[in-house]
Protein backbone atom coordinates (compact mmCIF):
# COMPACT_ATOMS: atom_id res chain seq x y z
CA UNK A 1 0.00 0.00 0.00
CA UNK A 2 2.84 2.39 0.79
CA UNK A 3 4.36 1.79 -2.63
CA UNK A 4 1.06 2.68 -4.31
CA UNK A 5 0.81 5.86 -2.22
CA UNK A 6 4.34 6.87 -3.15
CA UNK A 7 3.69 6.23 -6.83
CA UNK A 8 0.52 8.33 -6.72
CA UNK A 9 2.30 11.14 -4.87
CA UNK A 10 5.13 11.03 -7.41
CA UNK A 11 2.67 11.20 -10.33
CA UNK A 12 0.79 14.09 -8.70
CA UNK A 13 3.99 16.07 -8.09
CA UNK A 14 5.20 15.31 -11.61
CA UNK A 15 1.97 16.61 -13.16
CA UNK A 16 2.05 19.77 -11.00
CA UNK A 17 5.68 20.51 -11.85
CA UNK A 18 5.13 19.85 -15.55
CA UNK A 19 2.31 22.41 -15.56
CA UNK A 20 4.60 24.96 -13.93
CA UNK A 21 7.23 24.42 -16.63
CA UNK A 22 4.77 23.89 -19.49
CA UNK A 23 6.18 26.83 -21.48
CA UNK A 24 9.55 25.12 -21.73
CA UNK A 25 7.98 21.78 -22.56
CA UNK A 26 5.83 23.32 -25.31
CA UNK A 27 8.83 25.16 -26.77
CA UNK A 28 10.58 21.81 -27.08
CA UNK A 29 7.62 19.70 -28.26
CA UNK A 30 5.67 22.16 -30.42
CA UNK A 31 6.94 25.61 -31.32
CA UNK A 32 8.87 28.42 -29.71
CA UNK A 33 6.21 30.92 -30.79
CA UNK A 34 2.77 29.28 -30.56
CA UNK A 35 0.05 30.39 -32.97
CA UNK A 36 -3.64 29.98 -32.14
CA UNK A 37 -6.15 30.32 -34.98
CA UNK A 38 -9.76 31.45 -34.53
CA UNK A 39 -12.52 31.88 -37.11
CA UNK A 40 -16.27 32.17 -37.56
CA UNK A 41 -18.41 29.21 -38.59
CA UNK A 42 -18.18 30.07 -42.29
CA UNK A 43 -14.63 31.41 -42.28
CA UNK A 44 -15.61 35.01 -43.12
CA UNK A 45 -13.48 36.25 -40.23
CA UNK A 46 -10.28 34.60 -39.09
CA UNK A 47 -7.57 35.71 -36.72
CA UNK A 48 -4.26 34.29 -35.55
CA UNK A 49 -3.09 35.09 -32.05
CA UNK A 50 0.57 35.13 -31.11
CA UNK A 51 0.56 35.56 -27.32
CA UNK A 52 4.34 35.96 -27.11
CA UNK A 53 4.27 38.75 -29.69
CA UNK A 54 1.45 40.72 -28.08
CA UNK A 55 -1.33 39.61 -30.43
CA UNK A 56 -3.66 38.17 -27.85
CA UNK A 57 -7.33 37.44 -27.26
CA UNK A 58 -8.16 41.08 -26.47
CA UNK A 59 -6.87 42.24 -29.84
CA UNK A 60 -8.77 39.45 -31.56
CA UNK A 61 -12.01 40.42 -29.82
CA UNK A 62 -11.49 44.07 -30.80
CA UNK A 63 -10.89 43.09 -34.42
CA UNK A 64 -13.99 40.87 -34.38
CA UNK A 65 -16.13 43.72 -33.01
CA UNK A 66 -14.82 45.98 -35.80
CA UNK A 67 -15.64 43.25 -38.33
CA UNK A 68 -19.21 42.98 -37.01
CA UNK A 69 -19.65 46.76 -37.21
CA UNK A 70 -18.43 46.78 -40.81
CA UNK A 71 -20.50 43.72 -41.74
CA UNK A 72 -23.81 43.83 -39.84
CA UNK A 73 -25.11 40.88 -41.88
CA UNK A 74 -22.85 38.64 -39.78
CA UNK A 75 -24.32 39.82 -36.49
CA UNK A 76 -24.90 36.84 -34.25
CA UNK A 77 -21.84 34.98 -35.49
CA UNK A 78 -19.37 33.81 -32.90
CA UNK A 79 -15.73 32.85 -32.90
CA UNK A 80 -14.42 29.31 -32.68
CA UNK A 81 -10.97 28.05 -31.87
CA UNK A 82 -9.54 25.73 -34.50
CA UNK A 83 -7.08 23.98 -32.24
CA UNK A 84 -7.95 21.07 -29.99
CA UNK A 85 -7.24 20.41 -26.37
CA UNK A 86 -5.11 17.33 -26.08
CA UNK A 87 -5.79 15.62 -22.74
CA UNK A 88 -2.64 13.51 -23.12
CA UNK A 89 -0.57 16.69 -22.88
CA UNK A 90 -0.96 16.81 -19.13
CA UNK A 91 1.55 19.66 -18.89
CA UNK A 92 -1.09 21.92 -20.49
CA UNK A 93 -3.96 21.06 -18.15
CA UNK A 94 -3.57 24.28 -16.16
CA UNK A 95 -3.74 26.33 -19.36
CA UNK A 96 -6.78 24.40 -20.54
CA UNK A 97 -8.59 25.35 -17.35
CA UNK A 98 -7.46 28.96 -16.96
CA UNK A 99 -6.65 30.50 -20.37
CA UNK A 100 -9.40 32.39 -22.15
CA UNK A 101 -8.44 30.99 -25.56
CA UNK A 102 -9.68 27.54 -24.52
CA UNK A 103 -13.12 28.86 -23.51
CA UNK A 104 -14.11 29.31 -27.14
CA UNK A 105 -15.94 26.33 -28.66
CA UNK A 106 -13.94 24.08 -30.99
CA UNK A 107 -14.56 23.82 -34.72
CA UNK A 108 -12.38 22.27 -37.40
CA UNK A 109 -10.55 24.82 -39.52
CA UNK A 110 -12.01 25.78 -42.89
CA UNK A 111 -9.42 25.38 -45.62
CA UNK A 112 -9.39 28.33 -47.99
CA UNK A 113 -7.47 28.31 -51.23
pLDDT, tens digit, 9 for 90 and up, residues 13-24: 998 988 888 878
pLDDT, tens digit, 9 for 90 and up, residues 46-105: 999 988 787 789 999 999 999 999 999 988 899 999 999 999 999 999 999 999 999 999
pLDDT of 112: 60
pLDDT, tens digit, 9 for 90 and up, residues 26-46: 777 887 788 899 999 888 999
Distances (CA, A) of 79 to 3, 63, 88, 113: 48, 11, 25, 21
Main-chain dihedrals φ then ψ at residue 80, nearest 5 degrees: -125, 145
When comparing pLDDT for 46 and 113, which is higher? 46
Residue 111 has pLDDT above 80, yes or no: no
Amino acid sequence: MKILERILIFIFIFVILSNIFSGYINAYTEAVIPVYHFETCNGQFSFDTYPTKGTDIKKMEQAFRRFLKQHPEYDGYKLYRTFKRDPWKFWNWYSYLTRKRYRYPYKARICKE
